[in-house]
Structure formats: structure tokens, C-alpha cells
Structure 1
Amino acid sequence: MKYIVNPIIFRVVLFVLISLLGISNLYSQQNTIAGVILDGAKPVPFANVYLQGTEIGSSSDRNGEFTIENIPDGTYKINVSSIGYNTFYKKVTLDNNKVLTLKISLKTSSEQLEEMVVTGTLKPVKRLESPVPVEVYSPAFFEKNPTPSIFESLQNVNGVRPQINCNVCNTGDIHINGLEGPYTLVLIDGMPIVSGLGTVYGLSGIPNSLIEQIEIVKGPASTLYGSEAVGGLINIITKKTLEASAFSADSFMSGWGEYNLDIGSKIATGSNSNLLLGLNYFKYDNPIDDNGDNFTDLTLQDRISFFQKWSLQRENNRIFSVAGRFFYEDRWGGEMQWTPEFRGGDEIYGESIFTRRWEVLGKYQLPFKENILLSVSYNDHNQNSVYGTTRYLADQRIGFGQLTWDKVWAKHDLLFGGAVKYNYYDDNTPATSGLAGNKEDIVWIPSLFVQDEINFSKKHSLLTGIRYDYDKRHGSIFTPRIAYKWKFTDNDILRLNAGTGFRVVNLFTEEHAALTGAREVVIAEDLKPERSINVNLNYLKKIYSNNGTFIGLDASAFYTYFNNVILPDYDTNPNLIIYKNLDGKSVSKGISANLDMAFPAGLKILLGATLMDVSNTTNGVTQRQILTESFSGTWSISYAFRALDLTFDYTGNLYGPMRLPLLGELDPRQEYSPTWSIQNIQFTYSGVKDFEFYVGIKNLLDWTPNKGNPFIIARANDPFDKNVQFDNSGNAIPTADNPYGLTFDPSYVYAPNQGIRGFLGMRFRLN
């Protein structure tokens, strides 16, 4: 049966609908926002444009142009974001069918592929133009999992692992691609002021608010940076005074009672000068023993650090800056009933470390037509430590001066440089003792280097360089390198790097296993400088889709060959640490990749993975290096709930098994660690002007290294070995009280002892 609509009724209904629509339009004005988004004069395609707190938005086209229509009357906050740029905000009021036309300029951010880097070539270049692969991380990256020090923050960087070397005092070093801490050079503003004795302390107490970015180079960089840049380097770049916030503060506390405060401020000291000030304070004084061994699971710390940087604006934008930092820390760990009056005694075991260091660095661009830069730095590190009854007193002073001439000639981008490094080291261990008694170690190392980047075309460039260092102990040392870059499209880059590295003898003897009294340090021979040869193949790919999605791939294959390697030998004799040059070879090889994805809806994903094989071969026998994982992974997943001004972050890492330092064949602890992971979540609310509030949970899986082990610290019930019986060779004898024949040793460690815990904090920035 068919239904026939009466024509009169149809006309009446149509008239009513049209009338209602007209009335609706009359009382609900529809407005329009249109415009163009630029980076300088260059359009920014596929930028996201939306009205904060609503679902109204659009994206720019290939010409950077956008249009948003049918916007109801009201006051809105326009939000413009794009990968590689700082987010743009603008408040607007719309009414009466208004058409608002905007010209929006975005500023580049430090979380992008186009950021400026200096670490790879000692001169500022765009990351895509650098022939040396440089990874860059901004403070925003580390804010996804807030920590009280850069040392801990690096746990979320692929291929980089903070290694804790002591269950009691929690000191450690930084591993890059599985290589030991002494092979990692740490710089601040390009100056090597963190070295040897000061690594873990130098990476603490730098306010996050004063950091512009952290640049990481994996592989030898001795051609530019000299000794210790054997396995890689970490360069902490502080902010320029003109770019810093007028005032900033960041404070958080954890469920364990940790408290951290960062404060930064910028002060105008004249019409052409500014002063950047920073303060970091960290305190933890709540002893916790969750694993039940009567030892603190986390070292108690009271730390304060002051930082200041003064910059002068000069003619032709020439550089002149002076910075300084003072650091003091009191940390202790040990038996739960330990108090300061037991320091150095044999009643209650404790490890107490007083650290004081100060640093100064400056840069001055000479007033010539040519670009000539003078850079200087100096640091003084004093440490007063007690490990049970063993005292470790040490002083280290490092002075550094460098003059570079940056010259462009035809297709050649040249860099000439000369440097001198002064290293003073003195402690009360065998490292500085000789036939005549204790004698400080003083070394001057002058250097000359030259670098030439030849740009054959827009797609092809070749970087060559060589460095000459003279050490009176070892004579002349040459370190060449070569790098080739093929930029076959604007979004595809292939880099091939080959270079050498070296590390002169600078035996760092804050070796916890020795200082606890469990082992004795033995220097078996006159040590020769370590040498390395590295080849690295890197591929960088960027993909931009029409809907604003971004995908970036950064993948590398690496191979490093070492000779004359100085490794502490724990295996020959469980009572000794024997230092000598390896009679054989050491090899680090593997592949590494980072995948970076960002979607218009507010989802960002960063995934990293590294597969590696680090081994030592001597007398034809190859063995995996101790405390080195075969694979690792990191991730950071963030989602912005824009209408709620809320961001969710899920971060974590995954590590494969590591060979661990056992005390003998009877030691019941696991020889290899299991695969383990630390995972964290965080919620950040930014709906209040100039404020951010964040809350989260660390170590969601509640992973600690005692799981699956009968104990972590050997002989924790007898830390002074009072009930241990020894044979004539000094080896512990199994007894009823000591069935495994062990001595006290807290060096069996591969993961933090902190379990699951909550945290909350607040940030404030006044620009």
C-alpha cells in the first residue's frame, strides 16, 4: 500500500521548518576564523588548529592556510600546534557573524627534528644537516616521568642506562650502548666539567627549568672532545638568558618521602645583560627496608645546588657568558639503626658520603671579523667518604681551555681548534700511591684538531677530522674520523660515520667492592691508553600525512672495537679487583631504533629498542661483559585530553638479562638477572594559567632485584666479616654460620630497590 502526502500539508511543514531554521540562525550567529600559519616566511603545513575546551577545529593545508567555520558566539582560546614547534595560544571573542583573519607565526621548539645541535660538530647546525647523528631531548620529555636528577632521568632514553653500582650508597655511572661509565663523557654547555669522580654527582642538582636540551652522541667523539669520549657523550645545554622564563618553580614529593624543588629566575642586570639563577634542593630522610635485610633500600640524601649564568649582549651578537655552580650533598645508607656517631666505626655498618664541588665555565667570542671562540671551564670536587671502617678521601680538579676558529671557505666548512686539559687527582687508595708514598696525579694534555665539512651538493656532504693529543705518559695520540651524509630527500637522510676514541689512564678508584673491605685493588701493570674504532650507519626518515599525522624513524647499526681495555677483573680472585689492560679485544655491536609518532587527536608515541652484544675476548675465550644487557627498550606514550586540559603519560623501560658479579661458585644468587621492567604513569592538569599539577605512580609492576634471590647484599648480617673464617690465601671458608663461603658485599645490583610508589607535584612558569 502506498502513502500519498497531501501537497497542502507538505507546503505547511516545509514552511514551518524553514521558518524555524531562520529563527535559529537569527539567534545563533555563526562566526569564522581563517588565516595562515608560518615559520618565518615558510608556511607550516598540517598544523592542528582548534578552540580549546571544544571539539571545533581544523588543520592547515600544504600552504599553511586554514579555515574554521560555524563557530557560535563566545570567547575562545585558539590552540595551534605542530610537530617541531611551540604551541601557540591566542584568546579571541567572536559575535555577529564575525570573520577573523589571523597570521600566526610559530616558534621552533627543542623537541623536533629541525632543532639546532652543537655536539656533533662543535658548531650550531640543524639536526637534519648534521653529518653526525645527534639525539636531542628537551625538558618536556623528562617531565613525563619527573625525577630528582638527570642521572635518573636518562633511564627513559633508548640505549642509555643509569647503572647503580652499590646497593648501599647508590652511586653509579652512565652506560651508552652497554659500554661502562668511564667511556661516557658528560659535558655542560660543551665543557668537560663532569668526569671520573664527579659523574653521578655532576648529573645531580641541575635545575630542570634551566636546561634547554640534552644532546647525546653514541659512539667515539675523541676527535673533537679528547680523552674519555670513547663510547659516547652527553651534553647538557643550559638556556640562553633571553629565552628563559622570568620565574619558574617545580616541586614534587613521592610516597617514600622524597622531596625535590627546582627554582629558576631571570634578572636583568643592565640594559645589555641578564642573569639566570637556579636552585635545586632534594631531601630524603625516611629509612625504608622493604626487602627485610636490615639495610636501607634507598640512600638518604640532603642535597643543594646553586647555578647562575650571566650573559652580555654584544655588538654583532657576539657571545659572552659566564656560568657557575656550587653543589653540596650529604648522603648515607646502611643498617637501619645507623646514626652519624657510628661513622667510621665497626659497631653499626654505614656508608656516609660528603660531597662538595664547584664549577665555573665561560665563553667569549673574540672581537674579530672571523668567528673565533674562547671556551674555558674549571671544577673542583672534594669527597669525604666512609664505607664501614674504610675511609675514601679524594680531590679532583679539572681545568679546560679551548680556542676554535670557525671558517667557511667555498664548499668547505672548516673548524680549527687548540685545547689544553689539566687534571689533578689525589686520593688515599693505591691509585695515587707509589714507592715514595702517596703522590697526587697531575696531567697536562695539550691538543690540536681540525675539521672540514665539504658540501658537494645539497644532497651530499663529507666530514673529515683529526686530533692530536700529547700525554707525557703515553706520548702522541692521533684520533681521526670521517662522516658521510646523503640527504636523498628532505625527509630521508643516510649517515655513515667512522671514528676513533681514546681514554688515557685515569684510574677512578671509588670502587665500592674494594672500599667495603670485601676486595683489594691490585694494579697489575703500567696501564696503556685505551683505544677504540667505531663504525655507525644511521638512517633518519620523516613522514607527514595530509591529516597531520607525523611518523619519524631514527635507526642505527653500530660496531665498536676496543684494544688496551682497562676492565676490573672480579673473576680471577673473589677477594681482589685486578686492573690491567685486556690481553685481547673487546667488542660492542648491535642495532638501535627510535620510532616517533604524533597524531592530530593528541596522541604521541615514542618507542625505542636496542639489541647489542658486548663481549671481551682474552686467551681465545669470549665472555659477555658484566652488568650489560643484551637488549633493552624504552617507551613514552602521551595523550592530551584537550577539552579537559589533561595529559596522560605512560613511560617505561625493559632490560634483558645481565651477567652479575658473584663471589664464588657457592654463591646462591642468580648469575644472570631476569628480564625486568620499570613502568610509570602520570596525569598532568594545565587548566590554570601558568600552573601545571601532576600526579602519578612509579614502578607500577613493583619490580625490585631481590625477587627470585635469597638475598641481595651478601652477609648483610655480618657487614664487618667478624664471623667469617679465611684460609691462608685469604679466601672465605664455608662454615655452619657461612655455608656459601661469602664475605660482605653490596655490589650485586642491577635495578633500583624502590618498589611501587605514588608522587605528586606542581609547576609554575611566569614568562
Structure 2
Amino acid sequence: MKQVIFFAILFASIMVYASPTNKKDDDKANIEGHIFDAKTKIPTEYVSIGVKGTSIGTVSDINGNFIMRGLKPGKYVLVFTCVGYQKVEKEVLVLKDKTEHVHVEMQEAKKLIDEIVVSANRVETSRKEAPIIVNVLSDKTFQQSNAQDVSQALPFQSGVRVEYNCQNCGFPQVRINGMEGPYSQILIDSRAIMSSLGGVYGLEQIPVNMIDRIEIVKGGASALFGSNAIAGTINIITKEPINPSYSISTDLSSIGMKAYAQNFNSNAVVISKDQKAGASFYQTFRKRNPYDYDNDGFSEIGKLDVFSFGTKSFFKINNTNKITLEYHTTKETRRGGDMFDFQPHLSNICEMTDHNIHSGGLSYDYISLDAKNRYSVYASGQYIDRDSYYGSNQDPNAYGKSEDFTLLLGTQGSNKIDNLIFLPASLVYGFEYSSNELHDEVKGHNILTNQKTNVYGGFGQVEWSSKKINFLLGGRLDKHNLIKNPIFSPRLNALYKPTENLQMRISYASGYRAPQAYEEDFHLTQVGGLSLRTFLAENLKPEYSNSLSFSLDYYLQLGDNYQTNLLFESFYTDLDDVFALKVIESDTINNIMIQERYNASGAVVKGISLTGKLTYKDLYSITLGYTLQSSKYKEIQFWSEDIQVEGTDQMLRTPNNYGYTTFSISPIKPLDISLTGTYTGKMKVPHFAGYIENDRIETTPSFFDLNVSLAYSFSLSKSTGIKLSVGMKNILDSYQNDFDKGINRDAGYIYGPMQPRTVYLGLNLFSN
């Protein structure tokens, strides 16, 4: 509570300090102008125009015109930005009581080069100039893959896989460079508020219509966001209210020609006339019927019923101060197993959860007039209320109740210094306090988890920049209440630019994972009629990591039409006291199988990723990505309680090679055709006894999941457009064909693509 009071006082103090004075300034000047496409000479609407170093801004109208009133006389740098165009900066001198006229030509953006990211160093940076590689998933990828949530969008990046880990409820998990979900940190607008309980189904609970883009950093090089991001960070950047707009969309899917799913989405943005305030809104309804692949009466894909709503708004106090408020809520019911028309405890197998989630954030941002100094104070939180049932054999005692509250308070500053020791430099520094209180109880089985974590973290970094070399030195110091001593996690990055088109990067970072409950501990897989529960070993120690990465990033512009990007990445992560799982007991009286999280000696994850991209005008683009890796423990690990089952040094559920591809073409302006696909190589997966006689390790086949989408857009009026879409997912029906059957199945024995061949139709009404 003391920390909350401290940050409230700090926030209020800064607000008072930053509030505009009542001093009146009668010296006023105006800027007005016209913006048009450099090639077509057509007026460009909805271009954002800002005064560099301030929060002053406006937007061009449908005729490409704009006006800024009430400026003080002097020199200004105007910044013009618009989706699909290169950023333009133009210096303007305005005089007292005069109106300066400006005309601006917008050049088509170099799509592969001009992306702006924040996940590299917590401040906005050109992807090309970022000290570490930041991969971006945009709205275009969401549309190409017909993704409805984050889990369906993430696979289209090298080194990233998403898998289902349960036939019943569809527990999704993302793996970066082969490491399982808890090794990755999921951020929402750069805030780490996704708790262990929230992470169980979180990837499916975040709809893409709330997202502007997803930034992915692989490896521990982005340690400023939290030292437990050993495999990497997934930063979900929500939509900013920029241009007044609206959209309403729906689609209907047939999963395996047996089960049906429907989604209904709506979005809207409103902006005040003076551009000082605005808000964006989204809403999602989603329903999915259970899918039974082998007609045994038990689902392979669970039932889903979701409602989500959210808003993000801003208010500009004056030219240098801004407040942002964000809130979203989700109500979700999911269920898998059999006998869906009966109460959970009357089913042979049932995994059911009912979530009520509330998340929000408030931030205050200050930027100096010369744009060299930025400061922010922020607070974010998430509350989860979950009712659950994980049980088999009509167990009346398997009902559970979970409550979870996460709080994040922080402050951050950044400064640009003309010369620090020997070169121009940028400083980023800050402090964060995060806490999580979890109550998880299954009264019928006398199981109770009360977990409280508190982490005080300070971070800082300095980045020296020159024409050829950027060097970054930083670190984070954390004090975790479950770990005796503070932990310092250093970060070193170097960027060398031998030519304008080639960047070479090398990074080192360390990290840790605390000895606490993680996502899989709150999902109880049904195995052989028993609930698989995870408990922490006595005297469990923290897990530590050291990561190295190297990359070559090459861009080439061929004339005015072709752009290419070739990216080579290598990674090496050494894990000490690595967390591992093994089954230690089966309690048939209470229908429980117990597995223990313990410290293994260590592990090494290493590999390379290759990504190639080619675009030609707006006509077509193609991307190919491939990862080759090795994930092994330093000693043989035994995962089964059956002493006859051999151990393995291989990290299970981790293929040695996998990849993806996307291809889009627009043969005529209203028509877009997209092909997307993911390849998953062979891997070893655990298979528990129940349906089969004894525990054993299976080697899976490889899979290629190919999808196609066709979309046709046309205008209903000058202000309204409509898009019709049709597509098929998993055209080749590349899907697991050896599921366990019946009540004694191992629901965790699931691998490969997340759904069989699926046909869908879509309709989208939107503002032009």
C-alpha cells in the first residue's frame, strides 16, 4: 500500500508541475497547408501532422488540407506521417499575426525499412537503427491469416511456434527459439501485467481487432522489460486513436466440416475537433462449437464463448503533456471433454473455466520542446476471477476457484545528450514495482495455492551512436521476494553498419526465473482418468540464463519498385539450474497424478534462423522463414514415474527445424489473394499411459499447414467501403491422426497444427 501512495503522490506532483500557466500570450501565428501523393498528385487524407518536440498536432481532411492555429512565432519542424507513406519532416518559420502556407508531397513507404518499434529499448526507434532485431507482425498479417486472436497470428515469424497442449480445453502456448511459454514475457503496450494465471489462456483471450501491431524480440536482449524474458518478449501494441473511423466485421467458419465458429468484431475511433482528445473502442463476440476428430464423443478442440470490450483514450494537457487511459475486459467460458449438455461433474471428462478479466492502465507523458527529454509515470493492473472444473470420472470434488491481481507501477525517463564522454548518446532509466497476489483453491481435494510475489526493479542503459557504430550498455536490478539476494541482469548490444544497407548486431544478456508457480500449474491436464497437477519441489532454486545472439540484416532497394530484406540470426542460451518436470506419484483415490518442478543441472538452446522478404510495389510480397535449432539438457532427464521408461536429454515438444511462409498478390486493385503456411518438423513428445499400456516417448511426423484467403473490396459510398472474404485453413488437412480415445486418454498427447481443414466466409463494413 505504501508503494501505491508513493506513486500517487509522485504522479500528482508531476501533474501540478506540468500544468500550463495562466500567462496569456497574444503573439499568435498559423500554419495551413495541402498534402498530396507525390506520384498520383491526389490529395492525401488522414495524414497526421505534428510539431516535433511537442504534442501539438492535427490531421488532414478528405481534401488533403490542414491548419494549425494559435502558434507562437518562431521556427517549427513539422512531422508528417501516414500509413503507407514515408515520414516527412519540414522546417517552417512563422511570424506574428501571419499564416504560413505549406505544401507537402508524400512518398510511398519502403515497407521493409521504415517501421518504428519500441521493444528494442523502451523508446520509439526506427527498426533499422534499433540495437537489437525487432520483428513486427502487422494488421496485414492478421488479415492474410484470418487470425482472430494473438495465438493465430504469432506463428508467422522465424523462431516462433504456437501449439495446443490439451485436447480438452485447448491450452495454447507460444515457444520462442524452442523454449516453452513461461520463458517468454508477454507485454501489453510495453507493460508486464500478464500473470501466470492470465497466461494459461491469454493468447486466445486477446483479439486482434484491439491490436495495432505485435513486436517480437527473440532472446534476452530486451532485458529492460524484465529479466525473466529469457526466450524473448512479445509486445502487443494496442490501437491508438488517430483517425476518426469505424468498422464492423463478421466471419463464419466450418472446422473439419463438423463444428462451426463465428466471430463478430466492431471498432470505432473518435477525435475532438481540436485534436487534443480522442478515444478508440473495440468489441468482440466469439463462439466456437466443440470439434470431435475421431467420433469417440470427446472433443479435440473445445467449446468457446467469449465477449471482449476495450477502449484507449488520450488527453493533451498542453503542447508537451499527455495523459493516456486504457481499459479492456474479457468474459470467457471454455469447455472440453464430453457430454457438453450436462453439468461438469456429470461428464466423464471435463475441463471448464469461466473467466472474468479486467485490465487497465494510466500513464502520464512529458516531452520537452526540443524532443531531447521524455518522462513518464504509469500504472497498470489486471484482475482475474476464474471458476474452474478439471476432473474425470464424474468427480464432484474437482471444482476450483481462483482470484488473481497484478499491479505494475513505474516511472521512466530518457534523455538525448550531444556528447557523453566521446559520442552523442541516449539515456533510458526508470524504476518499476510489480506485485501479484494469487489465490487458487480446489476445496474438494484440499488443494490451496496462496502466492504473493513482489518485485522491485530498477533499469538503466546508455546508447552511444555514430554513423557506423551504435553501442549499448545497460542492465536491470531486481529484488524478488522469493529470492534472498537482488539479481543484476546486464545487457550489452552493438550495432555495426558497414554500409547503408547492412547492419550487423551482437548481443549478450542474462536473466532468471523465480521459483514460483507458472502457467502450466493452473491447467490440469486429464491423463488416464486422473488430473495432472504440478507442485514445486522443496528448496526449488531460481533458474539463471546467459544468452548470446548475432545477426546480419541486409536491405536492398532495386529501383523504385522492388524491396528485399535478408536476415540471418544465430542464438545461444545457456540455462543453469533449469526447471524440469517429472511425474512422482499417482493417487487413484483422489484422481490425481502429481508431477514435480525441480532443478535439473542445466540446458543449452542454440540455433540459427533465416528470413527473406521481397516486395514489388503494392502488387505482391513474399516472405520465407526457417529455423534450425538444438534444445538439450546437460544430463539425461526422467519425465515418467515408470522406472522402465528411458530418460532423454532432448527438450520434449521441440522440433529441430520449423518455418513459415506468406505470399500476397493484388492482381487488380480491389482483389487481394494470400497464401500463408507453417512447417513443423519431427519432434519427440511424451505420451502417458491410460489409453496406451505404458508411458513412452513418441516421434511425431512433420506437418505443413497451408492456408489461402481471397478478399474483394469495393466502395458503397464516398465514406463507406465493404470487403468480402473467403478462405480455407489447412488446405492439405495436415493434422494429427493418432489421438487417444475415451475416458482414459492422455489429453496432453496433442501436437501439430491447431485445427484441421477449415473453410470460412467473412464480411467487413468500414469507413473509407
Distance 1:236 1:753, change over 3 A: closer
1:144-178 deviation line (CA, Å, top 9, x unaligned): 01122111221222221112110011012211111
- Residue 439 of structure 1: CA displacement? 5.8
2:328 corresponds to 1:315? no
2:725 corresponds to 1:758? no
- Residue 198 of structure 1: CA displacement? 1.2
Among 671, 680, 683, the alignment partner of 2:707 is 680
- Residue 416 of structure 1: CA displacement? 1.4
Query: Aligned partner of 1:320: which letter?
Result: I
1:692-751 deviation line (CA, Å, top 9, x unaligned): 211111110112212xx3xx13xx43x2xxxxxxxxxxxxxxxxxxxxxxx542110113
2:608 corresponds to 1:591? yes
SS in 2 for 1:128: helix
Among 501, 509, 518, the alignment partner of 1:499 is 509
What is the RMSD computed on CA atoms of the aligned residues? 3.1
Aligned-partner Cα distance in 1 for 2:746–2:560: 58
Structure 2 match to 1:255: 254
Aligned-partner Cα distance in 2 for 1:41–1:107: 17
2:415 corresponds to 1:407? yes
Aligned-partner Cα distance in 2 for 1:150–1:349: 28
Query: Aligned partner of 2:379: which letter?
Result: V
- Residue 547 of structure 1: CA displacement? 5.8
Structure 2 match to 1:458: 467
Distance 1:641 1:667, change over 3 A: farther
Instruction: Trace 1:306-385 onto structure 2 (pairs within 5 A).
Output: 306-335=309-338, 337-339=339-341, 341-345=342-346, 347-366=347-366, 370-385=373-388
Query: Aligned partner of 2:126: which letter?
Result: K
- Residue 579 of structure 1: CA displacement? 2.8
SS in 1 for 2:242: helix
2:486 corresponds to 1:476? yes
Aligned-partner Cα distance in 2 for 1:461–1:487: 9
- Residue 534 of structure 1: CA displacement? 0.6
Distance 1:350 1:652, change over 3 A: same
- Residue 228 of structure 1: CA displacement? 3.0
- Residue 283 of structure 1: CA displacement? 0.8
Aligned-partner Cα distance in 2 for 1:280–1:128: 35
1:609-658 deviation line (CA, Å, top 9, x unaligned): 00111111226986111111111010001111126x21211100000112
Structure 1 match to 2:534: 521
Distance 1:48 1:763, change over 3 A: farther
Query: Aligned partner of 2:354: which letter?
Result: F
Distance 1:200 1:267, change over 3 A: farther
Among 561, 569, 573, the alignment partner of 1:556 is 569
Aligned-partner Cα distance in 2 for 1:757–1:497: 41
Query: Aligned partner of 1:297: which letter?
Result: E
Among 626, 641, 656, the alignment partner of 2:667 is 641
Contact in 1 for aligned 2:524/2:531 (Cα 8 Å):
no
Aligned-partner Cα distance in 2 for 1:439–1:291: 37
Contact in 1 for aligned 2:687/2:746 (Cα 8 Å):
no
1:642-682 deviation line (CA, Å, top 9, x unaligned): 26x21211100000112111225944987111011211011
2:508 corresponds to 1:510? no
2:279 corresponds to 1:275? yes
Query: Aligned partner of 2:723: which letter?
Result: E
Aligned-partner Cα distance in 1 for 2:104–2:407: 50
Aligned-partner Cα distance in 2 for 1:194–1:569: 26
Structure 2 match to 1:291: 294
Distance 1:367 1:619, change over 3 A: closer
2:654 corresponds to 1:628? yes
Aligned-partner Cα distance in 1 for 2:262–2:449: 41
Contact in 2 for aligned 1:531/1:562 (Cα 8 Å):
yes
Contact in 2 for aligned 1:634/1:654 (Cα 8 Å):
yes
Contact in 2 for aligned 1:207/1:263 (Cα 8 Å):
no
Query: Aligned partner of 1:598: which letter?
Result: T
Contact in 1 for aligned 2:171/2:200 (Cα 8 Å):
yes
SS in 2 for 1:191: coil
**TM-score (norm: length of structure 1):** 0.78
Contact in 1 for aligned 2:85/2:109 (Cα 8 Å):
no
Instruction: Trace 1:380-459 onto structure 2 (pairs within 5 A).
Output: 380-388=383-391, 389=395, 390-409=398-417, 410=419, 411-428=424-441, 438=448, 440-455=450-465, 457-459=466-468
SS in 1 for 2:505: strand
Count of aligned residue pairs for this structure pair: 639
Contact in 1 for aligned 2:399/2:442 (Cα 8 Å):
no
Identity value in percent: 25
The structure richer in strand per residue is 2
Distance 1:663 1:635, change over 3 A: same
Instruction: Trace 1:154-173 onto structure 2 (pairs within 5 A).
Output: 154-173=154-173
Distance 1:211 1:117, change over 3 A: same
Contact in 2 for aligned 1:213/1:236 (Cα 8 Å):
yes
SS in 1 for 2:197: helix
1:297-355 deviation line (CA, Å, top 9, x unaligned): 321111000011110123234331010011001111112x332x43123x543222101
SS in 2 for 1:148: coil
Aligned-partner Cα distance in 1 for 2:629–2:571: 9
Contact in 2 for aligned 1:222/1:501 (Cα 8 Å):
no
Distance 1:691 1:648, change over 3 A: same
- Residue 209 of structure 1: CA displacement? 3.7
Query: Aligned partner of 1:449: which letter?
Result: F
Query: Aligned partner of 1:593: which letter?
Result: L
Q: Which runs of 5 or more residues in structure 2 are unaligned?
A: 1-32, 43-81, 87-102, 638-646
Query: Aligned partner of 1:216: which letter?
Result: I
Aligned-partner Cα distance in 2 for 1:195–1:143: 28
Instruction: Trace 1:12-27 onto structure 2 (pairs within 5 A).
Output: none
Aligned-partner Cα distance in 2 for 1:488–1:199: 41
Contact in 2 for aligned 1:164/1:749 (Cα 8 Å):
yes
Aligned-partner Cα distance in 2 for 1:629–1:571: 26
Query: Aligned partner of 2:625: which letter?
Result: G
Q: Which region of structure 1 is more displaced relative to structure 2, 523-532 or 359-368?
A: 359-368
Structure 1 match to 2:642: none
Aligned-partner Cα distance in 1 for 2:512–2:145: 34
Q: Which region of structure 1 is more displaced relative to structure 2, 464-473 or 612-621?
A: 612-621
Aligned-partner Cα distance in 2 for 1:42–1:499: 45
Contact in 1 for aligned 2:516/2:536 (Cα 8 Å):
no
Q: Which region of structure 1 is more displaced relative to structure 2, 660-669 or 231-240?
A: 660-669
Structure 2 match to 1:229: 229
Aligned-partner Cα distance in 2 for 1:103–1:379: 44
Aligned-partner Cα distance in 1 for 2:150–2:605: 25
Q: Highest Rg: 1 or 2?
A: 1
Structure 2 match to 1:745: 746
Query: Aligned partner of 1:584: which letter?
Result: S
Aligned-partner Cα distance in 1 for 2:104–2:277: 32
Aligned-partner Cα distance in 2 for 1:227–1:344: 41
Aligned-partner Cα distance in 1 for 2:583–2:222: 29
Aligned-partner Cα distance in 2 for 1:126–1:663: 48
Q: Which runs of 5 or more residues in structure 1 are unaligned?
A: 1-39, 52-83, 89-101, 720-742
Structure 1 match to 2:245: 246
SS in 2 for 1:263: strand
